[in-house]
Amino acid sequence: MDAQPNDHCSIQQTLDQVGDRWTLLVLRDIFRGYRRFSHIQADLGIARNLLADRLARLVDAGILTKVPYSQRPPRFEYRLTPKGRDLSVPLIALMHWGDHWCADDRPPVLLVHHECGTPLDVAITCPVCDDEVAAPDIRSLPGPGRTMENQATA
């Protein structure tokens, strides 16, 4: 068991980009519609230097993009890129887990389907069997990105 091959693990690569509590809270705020430094800062009560650092990393990673909203003084707002918008699935999955296990199934916020108002579900599904799949029914196999270098871990 060697730590090196884990560098190729997609969970580890994801956590390298967003696996930090402040980063995930900043992203939650941006999904909620907070786009400006001062609004996010006031909402989270985060130190300005920490927020500047997290936003710069998210821009560098291509998860957020800076869009000017004022020329004088120069001011920017932060918007999700397609890469950032795709984080809605893991973020909502984390939220649902908290709704069930930390909020006794009485969530403070419900996320619903805009069209019909039904509370949404996040699940692992099999596209062929069209079924929800539970952890014991999941098997791992080497994927197309497996190399000699990372084949020690599965």
Applying the rule CB under 8 A, the residues between 62 and 121 that interact with its own copies are: 83, 85-104, 106-118, 120-121
Residue with tokens 């539970």: 134
Q: How far is the CB of 40 from its own copies (least distance, A)?
A: 9
Output 72 or 139, the one with its CB closest to its own copies: 139
Q: Which residues of 82-114 are buried (b: 16+ CB within 10 A; e: fewer)?
A: eebeebeeeebeebbeebeeeeeeeeeeeeeee
Specify the stretch interacting with its own copies by CB under 8 A; choose among 37-45, 51-59, 67-75. 37-45
Output 69 or 97, the one with its CB closest to its own copies: 97
- How many residues bind its own copies, per CB under 8 A? 88
Q: How far is the CB of 43 from its own copies (least distance, A)?
A: 5
Length of the chain: 154
Output 48 or 142, the one with its CB closest to its own copies: 142
Q: How many CB atoms lie within 10 A of CB 121?
A: 11
Given a contact cutoff of 8 angstroms between Cβ atoms, the answer to whether 26 and 39 are in contact is no
Return the structure tokens found at 52. 């500047």
Q: How far is the CB of 140 from its own copies (least distance, A)?
A: 5
Output 45 or 74, the one with its CB closest to its own copies: 45
Q: Which residue type occupies 115? A: E
Output 10 or 71, the one with its CB closest to its own copies: 10
**14 touching its own copies, by CB under 8 A:** yes
Residue with tokens 């080497």: 142
